[in-house]
Each structure stands twice: as structure tokens, then as C-alpha cells.
Amino acid sequence: MKKFALPILAASLLCFNVQAADEASGKEVASATNEQPANAGNAGMSPEEIAEMQKKLNNPLADLWLLFFQNDYTVYNDGHGDEYQINNFKFQPVMSFDFSENYNLIVRPTIQHMSLETPDPSSISGVDEGGNPIFDSSTRTSGFGDVGGFAAWGTKEPVNGWILGAGVTTLLPTAAEKEITTGGYDQIAAGPVLIALKVGDVDTYGVVAQHFDGYGDSAIVDRHGNEEDLNLTDIQYIYRHKISPTMQVGFAPNIQIDWNKSGSDKYSVPIGIGVDKLVMFGKLPVKFGVEVYHYVKQNDQFGADFGIRFFAMPVVPKLF
């Protein structure tokens, strides 16, 4: 799969560039003939409305309702050359409410389904020089994962050019199997979420940072036999660059820090690139995107190596 990632991304970029060129060509023809270009992809929206919609879709605190679908396929390795495939599909409806004259309230629940391949504990054939087990086979667990989400209050207008927000993020241990609960802890978790984003006409960048502390009984014990609580930070760093009215290149990967791990094993750090496109289906705006990642820092015993993300974001009318 890994060797096909760059061709997939290149093909996506080529297709989007061809369409962008066609749109530009149509606008030039329209200008020459004093007619509006025939462009079914942007039906019902003016160029100004398209630009405003793109800016709002880049802003997690915007006054929009979205149905956010995201699929992450990730290849992990165990340090012995063995690879394991994990797929995580998330559905994240995003709802914005007019909280006050200056602030929006954003509610973003997350429902996820996971298919997780891991080393089979019953297949240990020995240990390596560091005393870590060597596995001969793997096992796969699939099902719905933990339900989570956040509620954040954010500024409607930029503060010194920045959109700012803060709130509370939570996780509920609803996973079908212990193996696919967050970190294997099988705990209720909660913590703060902080959002800072600079949304410009061409470039958008910022972070969405969440921290989770576990509460209640834990399924994980430390090397001393004591229960260990979830202690996890997730930082999504975002950059988007507009290359046409409806298309952007950029990235939005998630750095994770497991504070219970030691040394560099606590960090999972991906870098990558992607492309997204805003498409109109009649009057329904939908943003499609694909991104590929390589992990430059990960857990040596079982860490992510490569990932590819697909997402779709239909904008739906507000119910209230």
C-alpha cells in the first residue's frame, strides 16, 4: 500500500489541476464573450460565496453545520520488520450555535468504527536483545470504538487576526472490545480543548489541541502492578494554501503524546501533504480531500509508519 501512496496523490493532484485549468479557461472565454461560464460544479454560488465557504470550511469554529466523514488507514510496525494495518472510520457531525453576540458554541461528537490488527499475544516465539517479545502472527479486532467529542466556545470575529476557542473534550468507553478502546485503557476521559487559527484569503494555519485524563477503573497496569490512567495529548496542526477558488493543498495531521510512555516512545509525529476540493452538488457544498503521512517519530515497540486519510464534508442546513 505504501508504494502506491504517492501515485495516488499525484493522480489526485493532476485531476484537480485539470479541473482548475478548465475552470480558469471557462472564465477567460466568458470574459471574452461577456457571458457567464457554464460550470455545473459551482452552480448556485458566486465566486465571492465560494471563497467565503472555503474560509468557513477551514475554520472549526465557523457558523456551519457539517457531516464530517473521515477514514484513516495506517500501517504500523513492531520494530522487527512486521507490519500491521489499522483502519479507523469517523463520523463527526459539527453543529454551530449562536451563543452570544461575540461567540459561537461548537458541538462536535465523534462516532468511530475501527479495524485493528495487532500482534497475537499467544504467538510469542522469543525476545529480542532489548527483552521485547517477538510475535509470529497477528490478530484482528473490529467494531465501534469509543464515542467522544468536544464542545467549544469560539470568537465570531478574529482577535488580532486569530480565531480563538476553548472548551471541554470527552471520551466514553463504549468500544465493543477492550483492544479498540483509546489506548486500551477502557476509561472515561475528559480534558480541555484549545483552538487557535489564522484564516486568510490564501493561507490558513493553526492548531486544535486536546488533552485527555482518564477517570475510574483502568484496564492497563504499569510495571509495578498499579492501575495506569489515560494521559494523552492530541495536537492537530493545520495548514491550507488556496491554489484555485475551489481547491487547496495542505495538511492537518495529528501529533499524539502518551505521557505514560518514556523517552521518545511517547511521541507519534506525522508529516505529510494533501489536496482538497470544494464541489457543488446542486446547492449542496461538499469538500473532498486526501492526505498522505509519514511518521518521523513513533513508538519503537509498536508505532505508526505510514498513513493515508480520505475525508468528505457535506455542508447541511442548520436545523435551529
Beta bridge partners of 290: 275, 310
57-63 mean pLDDT? 91
Q: How far is CA 290 from CA 252, 254, 311, in A?
A: 11, 15, 6
Window from 29-33, 49-53, 72-76, 278-282 with minimum mean pLDDT: 29-33
Q: What is the average pLDDT across 298-308?
A: 89
Phi-psi region of 278 (alpha: psi -120 to 50; beta: other; left: phi over 0): beta
Residue 10 has pLDDT above 50, yes or no: no
Please say if the pLDDT value at position 92 is more than 90. yes
Q: What is the mean pLDDT of the chain?
A: 84
Residues whose CB is less than 8 angstroms from the CB of residue 155 and which lie 6 or more positions away in sequence, other chains included: 61, 102, 103, 104, 163, 164, 165
C-alpha distances (whole Å) from 67 to each of 52, 64, 128, 158, 211 are 19, 10, 46, 25, 24
106: which residues sit within 8 A by CB, 6+ positions away? 60, 61, 94, 95, 96, 97, 150, 151, 152, 153, 154, 165, 167
Mean pLDDT, residues 42-69: 86
Handedness of CA 277, 282, 283, 286 (dihedral sign): negative
Q: List C-alpha distances in Å: 189 to 113, 179, 207, 236, 306.
A: 19, 17, 21, 19, 27
Cα(171)–Cα(153) distance, rounded to whole angstroms?
19
Q: Which grid cell is 146?
A: 469509543
- Checking if the pLDDT of 256 tops 80, the result is yes
Q: How many domains does the chain have?
A: 1
Range of the domain at 158: 2-316
| AA identity, residue 48 | E
Q: What is the pLDDT of residue 16?
A: 46
Is residue 250 pLDDT above 70, yes or no? yes
Lowest mean pLDDT among 15-24, 77-86, 112-121: 15-24
On the question of pLDDT at 159 being above 60, the answer is yes
Ramachandran assignment for 10, one of left (phi > 0), alpha (psi -120 to 50 degrees), beta (any other):
alpha
String of DSSP letters for 114-144: EEEEEE-GGGEEEE-TTS-EEES-EEEEEEE
Q: What is the pLDDT of residue 52?
A: 87
Region 293-299: mean pLDDT is: 93
The percent of residues in the chain predicted with pLDDT above 90, rounded, is 57
> How confident is the model over 159-165, as a mean pLDDT?
93
Name the grid cell of 122. Answer: 499467544
Nearest to 77 by CA among 46, 113, 119: 119
CA neighbor of 118 nearest in space, from 138, 134, 92:
138
pLDDT, tens only, 145-155 = 999 999 999 99
Residues 6+ apart with CB under 8 A from 217: 186, 187, 227
What CATH number is given to the structural domain containing 112? 2.40.160.40
In 3-state terms, what secondary structure has residue 153?
A: strand
Does position 37 have pLDDT exceeding 50, yes or no? no
Give the integer Cα–Cα distance in Å for 74 and 76: 6
Residue 94 pLDDT > 70, yes or no? yes
- What is residue 204's predicted lDDT score, i.e. its pLDDT? 95
Cell of 53: 465557504
The single-letter code of the amino acid at 56 is: K
Whether 128 shows a pLDDT value over 70: the answer reads: no
Residue-by-residue DSSP string for 23-67: HHHHHHHHHHHTS----GGGTT--HHHHHHHHHHHT-TTSS-EEE
Type and span of the H or E element at 277:
strand 267-281
